Amino acid sequence: MSHLFQPLQLGALALENRIVVAPMCQYSAEDGCATDWHTMHLGTLALSGAGLLITEAAAVSPEGRITPADLGLYSDAAEAALGRVLAAMRRHSPMPVAVQLAHAGRKASSRAPWDGGDQIAPDAPGGWQTEAPSALPHGEGERPPTALDGDGLDRVKRDFAAAAARAARLGLDGIELHGAHGYLLHQFLSPLANRRTDAYGGSLENRMRFPLEVFDAVRAAVPADMPVWMRVSASDWVAGGWDVDGTVALSRQLEARGCAAVHVSSGGVSPHQAIAIGPNYQVGFAATVKRAVSIPVMAVGLITEPEQAEAIVAGGDADAVSLARAMLYDPRWPWHAAAALGAQVRAPKQYWRSQPRAYKDLFRDASFGQR
């Protein structure tokens, strides 16, 4: 029996297997609103047979977007647009769908990666003034962000809570808070980005304070049975930066507050990071966190082969694996993993005739329209 295809609980949310489609920014929204591209993109992934689909980062405010074309969940129009995409998906897929809520902090007001990804100045078309824990730019030559004052901190917390309430109203199955990849919550955690001298800077306890307050605000804004969890960067890959020991401390605090899981990634807060990239290069971080908490832990990091994913879960390094680029390259990755590991996966009846003869028991009914 494949460990990868065993069920998993994220709080009250039951997953049929331990394959998670990770959030992947598409930079294809209009004023924060999902478009037909999102219907196509997410609809494809919703037919993949994974246990959970997490949408791309949805900004909690216009100034929290990475680029002007980021998805948002900060207005009635954005809520309605995402609702239309979800409705289309749910007419044809029973897969649970969660949303990642995010604020880009000092990495906001940027061009899309295919346009270079550089910062757009506040006085340039499409640009705006960024905000962060401290007035420290992300990259050399960039405009410094505005350091958030007390009113700004309260505003950001309200924005997260309001977006969470919209997610609950849409009937999404879970919320992931983006505390990784150098965005606002990660910026508070990392001493490379946080040089504050008040209650939100300095000591580890102080640097964790704001991300934990945001978690508490989101947790309080949604029903008790709606799971909320956080994605974290376990290391800045820079000497003197955020590290796995801090990640363990944060994860324990999150667990005590009712967090449903920890999604462990790394990097993103500094252009000086030196990452040793290779298969499973972040899985060790997940394993360290898993040994420290009792809630589920998701692992990421060049996980591309079914046997590789199976070994991660079977060996106890993580409770689930999260795939991003591998899913874009092969949107049927869970089908192929089930075939390789002797498991079954849900698939739409319209696709059953594609089942190879060698795997005649691979597919089972997706029960579309039964949500």
Judge whether 337 and 362 are in contact, CB under 8 Å.
no
Judge whether 128 and 62 are in contact, CB under 8 Å.
yes
The residue behind tokens 């924060």 is: 32
Region of 126 on the Ramachandran plot (φ > 0 left; ψ -120 to 50 alpha; else beta): left
What residues are annotated to the active site?
183
Supply 259's token pair.
């967090």
Judge whether 44 and 205 are in contact, CB under 8 Å.
no
Distances (CA, A) of 80 to 72, 76, 350: 11, 6, 29
> Max CA-CA distance within the chain?
65
What is the distance in angstroms between the CA of the first residue and the CA of the last residue of the chain? 27
> What is the residue type of 232?
V
* Full DSSP string of 278-327: STTTTHHHHHHHHHH-SS-EEE-SS---HHHHHHHHHTTS-SEEEESHHH
Q: What is the dihedral of CA 184, 186, 192, 193, to 10 degrees?
A: 10
Supply 88's token pair.
């289309």
Judge whether 110 and 118 are in contact, CB under 8 Å.
yes
Q: Give the CA radius of gyration of the chain.
A: 20
Distances (CA, A) of 310 to 1, 15, 32, 94, 230: 11, 16, 37, 24, 23
Rounded (5°) CA angle 36-331-334:
135
Helices assigned H by DSSP within the chain: 36-46, 76-90, 150-169, 184-189, 204-221, 244-256, 283-292, 306-314, 325-329, 333-341
